[in-house]
Structure 1
Amino acid sequence: MSGSDRRNVPRNDSDDVSRETSTSLHASRKHDTSHAPHIAPRHPRRRQAQIHRFLSDFSRVKWRIAAKGIISGFAVGLLVVLYRLGIGYGTRFATAMYAWLRDNPLWIAAWAAAAVLAGLFVACLIRWEPMASGSGIPQTEGVVTRGMRMRAWSILVVRYAGGLLCGLFGLSMGREGPSVQIGAATSQATGGRLAHGQVDRNALITSGAAAGLSAAFCAPLSGAMFALEEIHRSFSPTILLTAMSASLTSDFVAKYCFGLRPVLDFAAIQQLPLTHYWWLLPLGLATGVIGVVMNRLLLGLQTLMSHVPAMARPIISLAVALPCGMLLPLTLGGGENLIAFMERGGAGLGMLAALLIVKMLFTATSFASGAPGGIFMPILAVGSITGALVATLGGMPDLPIALDAQYVSVFAVIGMAGTLAAATKAPITSILLIVEMSGNITHMLPVAACVLIALFVADVCNTKPIYEVLLDRYQAGHPDNAGAQPTAVRSGVVEYPVEIGSRMAGSALGNVPLPDGMMIITVRRGSRDFVPNPSSVILAGDYVVVLFSGCSESIARTTLSGLCRG
C-alpha cells in the first residue's frame, strides 16, 4: 500500500490509528528509530507529517469517545436513579420498622431471624461476586489503572439485590461508592458495543464512574474531578472531556427525576464572617483528626473482621443495626437525615458526642462485613457531626469569645469537606462536592481552608488514601482472581501530565528511560504541540503523548506514573 493509500484508510479508534506506527515502537531506549519503517530519522519531514496526521486522527477519536460518554452517561443516570430510589425507600422503611419494634418488642425475635437470613443471602452474593463487596470505588480504580477485570452484569445484580436488602435493614452505608461501580459496570457493558479496544473501553469505564457519582450527588463537576483525582489518578484532557460529557448527561437525568433542588439544601445557612475565620484552625484540626481516626477505624475493623467466617460477617453488621436503629435512628442509612439534623442545630454536646461515636462504629462495622455499600456519605455525616460539635463547644458561655449558635450549620457543612479530605486524600473533589451539594458557592473559601488544614493533619499522621489501601487489600486477598491479571493490548495511545519534581521534568527525551515498546510521539506545551527529538527537553507542565505496543494500558500508565509524577 502506498503512502497516499495509507492516508485514505479510515480509522475507527485509537487502536486503529496507532497500528500504522506500532512497528516503530521496538526502538532502543534512546529512541533510535533506524529500524522503524514508518518513523525513521532519515526522513524527518516524513516522520513529522505522519505523526501530525496521526494526532489529527487522535483528536477526532477523543471527540468520538466523548460522544460515546454521552450515551453511557444516559444509561448510568437511569440505573443510578433507580438505585437512589431503592436505597431511599430502604432507609425510610428501616426507620419506620425500628420505631415500630420499639413499641412492639415481641416482634424483635422475628426481625432478628429475618436479619440472619438476609445476612446469609448477602454473604452468598458476595462469595459469588467478590468484586461487588464493599464500596466499589477501589475495584473500579483497579480496573482502570491496574488492569483488573470485572463481570459487569453480575456486579449489577449484586449491587442492586445486596445493596437494597442491606438498605432495608438500615446498615450505615452510602449509595455513592456503589453508584460509581454501577456506572463503571454499565459503561463496560455498553462499551462492549461502543468501544473499540481497551484504551477506548477504559476511558468509557472512567466516564461511567464519573457519571455514577454525578447522578448520586447531582454534582457533575465533582463527578468529573473524582474520575481524574481518585479513579484515573492523572489529569488527562481526553479523560476530562469524556468524564465531563458523561457526568453532565447523568446529572441531567438525575435532576429530571429528582428536581433541581440540591441533594443537601444548605442555601439558607449563614455565611461565616471574616472575623470568625480563625475558628477554621480548630475546625480543620478536629476534622483532620476525625478523618484520620475514621480511616484507621474502617481499616482496623476490616482486619479484625477478616478473622470471622465470611458467612457470618454480614450477620454481625445486621445485628449491630438493631440496637442502633432502636436507640439512635438518625444513624441509620448513609447519613442524609443526620446531616439535615446537623443543619437545623439545637443538639446538645452529649447528643452530638453519642451520634459521633455510634455513627463511626456503626459505619465501620457495616463496611467491615463486606456488605455491598459505600462509605462516602457516612464519612460526610461524621464530618457534619464533628463540625457541629466544634461549633457547639465554641458557643459555650464560659469562653471569652463565644461562637454564635447560628453558625453551627455552617460548621457542619465545612466539617464534611475536611473529614472527607482527610480520610480519602482527595481534596479537590471534597471542596467541589460540598459546594455543589449545598448549591452555594459562597462557602468555598472556608471549605477550602478547612480542607487544607485537615489534609495537613492527615499527612502529619502518615495517613494513606483509604481507597488505595482497600484496593491493595483486595488484590492481596484475591491473588487467583482473573481480575488481578493485566489486560493484554497490542497497541494504544495514552497522554500523561509531567509534574514538578518528577524524573522526566527537565530531562532530554533521549535520557528518559522508557522501556521497549513505548515511544513519546508528541509533547503538548500550552496551546502548542510539537514532535520531539532526542535532544528535546521535557518541562514540568507538559503533556506527553505516548504510543505503546506489546503491553497493556495499565502497564504503560504505571510506567508513566513512575516517570511523570513528582
Structure 2
Amino acid sequence: MRKRLALPITSWQLCLLAIIGGTISSLLIALFIGAINSIQQWLLADIGHYTSLTELNRLFLPIIGALAILLTAWLTGYQYIRTGIPFVLHRLKVAYGVIPLRNTINQFFGGIIALASGFSVGKEGPAVHLGAASSAYLGSRFNLPSNATRTLAASGVAAGIAACFNTPIAAVIFVMEVILREYKIHMFIPIMLAAIVGSMVTSTIFGPAHGYEFFSPVALDFEHYPWLILLGLMLGTLAAIFNRFIVAAIENAKHFHVVARLLIAGLITGSVGFIIPYAMGTDLGAMHFTMSDDASTALLLGLLVAKCGLTIVAVGMGIPGGVIGPIFSIGAIAGAVAAGMMGIAFEDKMTSDFALMGMAGFMAATLNAPLAALLAVVELSNQLEIIAPSMLVISTACLCAGQLFNNRSVFIMQLNVQELSYRTPPLENTLHNIGVLGIMRTNLALLDARDTEQEMQEKAMKSEYLIMQSNGEFYWNEVVYEPGKERRFRQHKLIPISSCATLAEAYLQLNEQRLGGVYIYDKSPDNIIGLLTFEQIRAYLTKGKI
C-alpha cells in the first residue's frame, strides 16, 4: 500500500485515509465551534451579539481574553504560538503539512478564547490549522510517503473549511487555489471526499443552515453592471490598503514581546468595542446590523473603518484566529456603503445585493482567490443568479488590486514579512508529488566484505544492482558499458534516504554531482529496502516516465 501511495495516482487507499482524516478533523472542529458557541451563549444574549454586554464588559472582555491566550501560550511555550493559514502554508513547504502538537494546542484553545472574547478574527484559520494537523497526523502515524501525507493535510484543510461554512465546493477550490496552488487529479478526489465529510458532520451536529440566510433574493440586472464595475474598483482599492496595513502591523509588532502584543490587541479591541460593539466578533453581528433598517450610510462607514482597524490589529498582533470571517464582514459592509452612496441611481438601494457582491469582490482581491470567492458566495447565499454579477465584481476588484496596486494574497504577504519559506521551485514541486518508494529498485544484491567470491558471484547473478557494505556505509557498483571495451564498474557512495521521502529530497542530495544514487531505508539506516539512481530522476524529468 505504501508503494502505491508513493505514486501520483488516484488510489482508494488514499481516499479512505482522506475520509478518515476528514472525519477526525471535522469532529475536532465541531468541538471547537461548539465550545465557542457555548461560551458566547453564556456571556451574550445570542451568539455574536456583543451589544448585549455593558460598555465596561465590552472593554474588559478582550483584555481578559488576551490574558487567557497568553496563559495557554506560556504553558505550551511561546515559540509554539504561530498558528493559522500562513503557518500551515509554511509547514506544507518544510514538513509536508505535519504540524507540532504544541502549535495545535495553542490554536485550539487560543482560537476558542479569541473568538469567544470578541476579537475580530475568523474561525476558518483555526479550522484550517486543526484540519491539516489532524489529517497529517495520520500520515506520520502510519509512516506514509511524504507526498501522501501532504495530500492528507490538504484534505484536512478542505474538511475544516467545509465544516466551518458548510461550503464543500468552495472548500475544495480554496485548497487548490490558495493552499496547494496547483490542480492535480490524484489530489482532487481525496480532497473532495474530505470536504463532503466535513460538511456532513457539522450539518448533522449544527444543522444544514449557513448562517447567512438573511440575504434577500438578488435583483441585479444588466443596467446595474456599470455600478458593479465601480464597486469592484472600490473593493480592489480597499483590499490593497487592507493588506498593506496588515503587513505594516506585523512588521511593527516584531519590536514588541508577545505579551505586549496580545495585550495591545485586547486593549484596542475593548476600547473600540466600548463605542462600536458591532465591530467586535467575526461577522454575523456586523452583517445583521448592515442589513437592518437602522443602518445609515454614515454609520456603516464608521463601522467599516472600525471593523478594518480591529481586524488589522488582531491579525497583526498575532491573535490566534483567521482573516476570512472578518473579510466577509468587511466586504458586506463595504458593499452596503457603496449601495448607499450610489442610492440616487437606483429606485431601491439594493443593500443586500451589493453586500453579497462586496463579500465576493473583497475576498477575491484580498486572498487573490477569485474562483474560491465566487463559489463561497454562491454556496453561502444559495443563489445561482449571482454568478454573472459576482464574476464582474471579482474580475474588476482583482484587476484593480493587482494591476494598480501590485497587491498579492494576504497570506503570501504575511509569510514574506514573517520570513517563513513557502515557495517551491517548479522542478522540486513536480518531484514532491512522487515518493521514493514508488520508483526505487528492489532487485538488489547486498554484498559484504566477508562474503566469499563464490557467494558474491551467486548474489550478482540473481540481482541487477550490486551494493557493497563496508564499515557501516554502502556503495553502489554501477556497471559502465563502453563500445569496444569490456564492461567496468564505477563505485558510488550511497546516501541514506528515508522511505517516507519524495524524489525532491533525493534530487537535492544528488544534484551537485549529478550521478550516483541514494539507498532507501525503512525505520533504521541499516535496513536497506531499495536503490534510487540519479538517472532514474533524470529520466522522469526529461521523459515524464517513472
TM over 0.5: yes
Residue 250 of structure 1 corresponds to 198
Q: Percent identity?
A: 25
- The offset of 1:476, in angstroms, is 4.5
Tell me which structure has the larger Cα radius of gyration: 2
Deviation sequence 1:2-23 (CA, Å, 0-9, x none): xxxxxxxxx5434666xxxxxx
Superposed CA RMSD in Å reads 3.4
Distance 1:423 1:114, change over 3 A: closer
Distance 1:188 1:148, change over 3 A: closer
Residue 167 of structure 1 corresponds to 115
Q: Distance in 1 between matches of 2:42 and 2:359?
A: 26
Residue 550 of structure 1 corresponds to 506
Distance 1:126 1:324, change over 3 A: farther
Residue 285 of structure 1 corresponds to 233
Residue 463 of structure 1 corresponds to 407
Residue 121 of structure 1 corresponds to 71
Instruction: Judge conservation of contact 2:114–2:319 (CA < 8 Å) in 1.
Output: yes
- The offset of 1:552, in angstroms, is 7.5
Distance 1:462 1:94, change over 3 A: farther
Deviation sequence 1:60-114 (CA, Å, 0-9, x none): x5332112111111111111112222233445556569657637x5x78976874
Equivalent residues in 2 for 1:371-386, closer than 5 Å: 371-386=319-334
Select which of 66, 80, 91 maps to 1:130.
80
Describe the SS at the equivalent of 2:360: helix
Describe the SS at the equivalent of 1:261: coil
- The offset of 1:168, in angstroms, is 3.0
- The offset of 1:267, in angstroms, is 5.8
In the comparison of the two structures, how many residue pairs are matched? 441
Instruction: Judge conservation of contact 1:172–1:331 (CA < 8 Å) in 2.
Output: yes
Q: Distance in 2 between matches of 1:252 and 1:116?
A: 33
- The offset of 1:413, in angstroms, is 0.7
- The offset of 1:195, in angstroms, is 6.1
Select which of 390, 405, 412 maps to 2:338.
390
1:304 aligns with 2:274: no
User: TM-score when scaled to structure 1?
Assistant: 0.71
Select which of 313, 335, 339 maps to 1:365.
313
- The offset of 1:298, in angstroms, is 1.0
Select which of 453, 472, 477 maps to 2:396.
453
Distance 1:474 1:112, change over 3 A: closer
Letter in 2 for 1:204: L
1:340 aligns with 2:285: no
Letter in 1 for 2:414: L
Instruction: Judge conservation of contact 1:120–1:312 (CA < 8 Å) in 2.
Output: no
Residue 3 of structure 2 corresponds to 13
Equivalent residues in 2 for 1:16-27, closer than 5 Å: none
Instruction: Judge conservation of contact 2:97–2:133 (CA < 8 Å) in 1.
Output: no
Residue 317 of structure 1 corresponds to 265
1:63 aligns with 2:19: no
Letter in 1 for 2:282: G
Q: Distance in 1 between matches of 2:335 and 2:174?
A: 24
Residue 182 of structure 1 corresponds to 130
Distance 1:284 1:111, change over 3 A: closer
Instruction: Judge conservation of contact 1:78–1:253 (CA < 8 Å) in 2.
Output: yes
- The offset of 1:402, in angstroms, is 3.4
Instruction: Judge conservation of contact 2:335–2:351 (CA < 8 Å) in 1.
Output: yes
- The offset of 1:158, in angstroms, is 1.1
Gaps of 5+ in 2: 423-430, 440-501, 512-537
Select which of 43, 54, 78 maps to 1:102.
54
Instruction: Judge conservation of contact 1:493–1:547 (CA < 8 Å) in 2.
Output: no
1:420 aligns with 2:363: yes
Describe the SS at the equivalent of 1:13: helix
Q: Distance in 1 between matches of 2:81 and 2:4?
A: 29
Instruction: Judge conservation of contact 1:349–1:392 (CA < 8 Å) in 2.
Output: yes
Deviation sequence 1:515-542 (CA, Å, 0-9, x none): xxxxxxxxxxxxxxxxxxxxxxxxxxxx
- The offset of 1:469, in angstroms, is 2.0
Deviation sequence 1:343-375 (CA, Å, 0-9, x none): 345411210111000000111111112121011
Instruction: Judge conservation of contact 2:59–2:271 (CA < 8 Å) in 1.
Output: no
Q: Distance in 2 between matches of 1:428 and 1:110?
A: 40
Residue 84 of structure 1 corresponds to 33
Deviation sequence 1:396-435 (CA, Å, 0-9, x none): 4xxxx33512x11110011011111111101110101111
Q: Distance in 1 between matches of 2:177 and 2:508?
A: 22
Deviation sequence 1:158-196 (CA, Å, 0-9, x none): 122111122232111100111011100010122234562
Distance 1:246 1:345, change over 3 A: farther
User: TM-score when scaled to structure 2?
Assistant: 0.73
1:410 aligns with 2:353: yes
Letter in 1 for 2:121: M
Q: Distance in 2 between matches of 1:331 and 1:108?
A: 11
Instruction: Judge conservation of contact 1:191–1:201 (CA < 8 Å) in 2.
Output: yes
Instruction: Judge conservation of contact 2:126–2:321 (CA < 8 Å) in 1.
Output: yes
Greater CA deviation, 228-237 or 157-166?
157-166
Q: Distance in 2 between matches of 1:112 and 1:372?
A: 13
Distance 1:470 1:244, change over 3 A: same
1:351 aligns with 2:299: yes
Describe the SS at the equivalent of 1:173: coil
Deviation sequence 1:183-237 (CA, Å, 0-9, x none): 0001012223456211111110011111111111101011111111111111111
Greater CA deviation, 375-384 or 296-305?
296-305
